[in-house]
Structure 1
């Protein structure tokens, strides 16, 4: 993405993988030299391209975890 700087600080895990090799991942990413955040999005195999995603603070992710734990999956 043009004009956006990012650094993957920690690769936490792969959620899913498409036939094309792109992976939906949970990582900790620093965007534009800001505080690192938890990030869920699709990445190309070499992490040079990305899809749209969502970022979460630690508090946001904790709240999401609580909500997910309430689901009967």
Structure 2
């Protein structure tokens, strides 16, 4: 596994929590010192471990919001 650095710039919201304490969160994260992007993934307690996730630019997040708003639930 390659080494990388991350900085959670802003914790936006938690979607769920597993019995083992892992949380699915939407955060603003800077990866390897780059400009922060919106990030959706599972995090271990204290954010020391992470699962696979996706990163989105602001424009992508807005498009995703629009798609979700247009869906009938």
TM-score between the two structures when normalised by the length of structure 2: 0.96
| 5+ residue gaps, structure 2 | none
| 5+ residue gaps, structure 1 | none
Question: Residue 13 of structure 1 corresponds to which residue in structure 2?
Answer: 13
The Cα of 1:4 is off from its aligned counterpart by 1.1
- Distance in 2, matches of 1:10 and 1:2, equals 24
**Is the aligned partner of 1:27 residue 2:65?**
no
Matches within 5 A, 1:49-64: 49-64=49-64
Note the aligned Cα RMSD (angstroms): 1.0
The Cα of 1:71 is off from its aligned counterpart by 0.7
4+ residue runs over 4 A deviation: none
Q: What is the aligned residue count?
A: 73
More helix by share: 2
Question: Residue 36 of structure 2 corresponds to which residue in structure 1?
Answer: 36
TM-score between the two structures when normalised by the length of structure 1: 0.96
The Cα of 1:45 is off from its aligned counterpart by 1.1
- Distance in 2, matches of 1:2 and 1:17, equals 27
- Helix, strand or coil: the match of 1:67? helix
